[in-house]
Amino acid sequence: MFAYDWDLATDIIVRSGDVAIVPGSTAEVTLSRQPLPADIHADDKASFSDSMAERTPENPDIQTSHRLLHPDGSVQWLADTAHAFFDENGHLVRSLRRCPITIG
């Protein structure tokens, strides 16, 4: 399992140190969200993006799964849960995700 915290204002993601257990992952703990969708299987990209776009202050929780593609051609399933945080105007400002890893 690993976790990450995405601050939308800065587009900075801080990942837990456990991210190193994800095959093909970089050891970097801090990065931006920009490159992340490139590693997601084409069939899962829309649902991955929609998972955050559909969050509201009344419905802040997410449960989803998607496949990651690795440079060696292997595919890995990630099932994750997330909680979205909103400001006083109802704008999404932060997301915390926990991802148990399934390899295969």
Q: Which domains, ranges and CATH numbers included, belong to the chain?
A: 2-103 (3.30.450.20)
pLDDT at site 30: 45
Confidence grade of residue 32 (pLDDT, cut at 50, 70, 90): very low
| 43-60 average pLDDT score | 87
Question: Which tens digits make up the pLDDT trace of 71-93?
Answer: 788 888 888 888 999 999 999 99
Give me the pLDDT at residue 78, please.
Answer: 80
| Residue (of 8, 17, 16, 21) closest to 78 by Cα position | 21
Determine the Cα angle at 95 with ends 11 and 22, to 5°.
Answer: 85
Region 49-69 average pLDDT: 86
Contact 83, 93 (CB under 8 A): no
Q: Which residues contact 39 (CB under 8 A, 6 or more apart)?
A: 24, 68, 69, 70
For position 60, what pLDDT does the model report? 95
- pLDDT value of residue 72: 82
3-state secondary structure 6-56: EECCCCEEEECHHHHHCCCCCCCCEEECCCHHHHECHHHHHHHHHHHHCCE
Query: How many CB atoms sit inside 10 A of residue 3's CB?
Result: 17
Contact in structure between 18 and 29 (CB atoms under 8 Å): no
pLDDT band at 12 (very low <50, low <70, confident <90, very high): confident
